[in-house]
Amino acid sequence: MIFRWRSGTGTGTGTGTGTGTDEVTPAPDPGRRAEPEVVRRARQLQEELAAIIAKANAAGGRLPAGAVPTVRDIDDVLRPLLRYIEVQSASDEELRHLTAMIHEYLPQALDDFLALPAPYTERPGVTGSTPADDLIRQLQLLDEGAGELQDLVYTGDAARLAIQARFLDAKFRRSDLEL
């Protein structure tokens, strides 16, 4: 059974349509602005991701059941993350992972499957699984990886917020000893 577990959960990851039209762009943090190169790279990755989603949607009839919804789930995580990074920046490691996922892993999985003649997609291979099963598993792994990357980016920023709150608390809270 294939279902889209992330859609409509109220997590702010979108409606699950893969359109990315309902996400909220974060307000810029004046202390942490994205460098022009990060902004350029984030925009380029957004364009590449949109092209991959369009390709998956167009090839939906050739892809196994569950492939297109999983690709859209990946989009529901990565598109708002790219917008966030465009405003708030990202570490080199985060950008490297995002770039690999969008520029290499996701398109390669789809392209390798779509290159196969249709009769071979349901035929078990050397591992005992079919190419259709392999594609679904790869997409699920990419979806999990996108969620982990999202957690990495947001957790780091949340930690900075907590540190700032502790600093302000120590700086401005009056001591019980003061009269």
Which two tokens mark 172? Answer: 């401005």
Long-range CB pairs of 11-16 (<8 Å, 24+ gap) are 12/80, 13/76, 13/77, 13/80, 14/75, 14/76, 14/79, 14/80, 16/69, 16/72, 16/73, 16/76
| Cα–Cα distance measured from residue 161 to residue 167, given in angstroms and rounded to the nearest whole number | 10
Task: Record the pTM.
Answer: 0.72
> What backbone phi and psi angles, to 5 degrees, belong to 21?
-90, -10
Q: What is the mean pLDDT of the chain?
A: 81
Q: What residue ranges do the domains of the chain occupy?
A: 36-172
Neighbour tally for 102: CB within 10 Å: 24
Tokens 């859209």 map to which residue? 72
Tokens of 15: 């409606």
57-89 pLDDT, tens digit each? 999 999 999 999 999 999 999 999 999 988 887
pLDDT at 22 over 80: no
* Residues 115, 125: Cα–Cα separation, whole Å: 15
**CA 90 from centre of chain:** 14
36 pLDDT more than 90: no
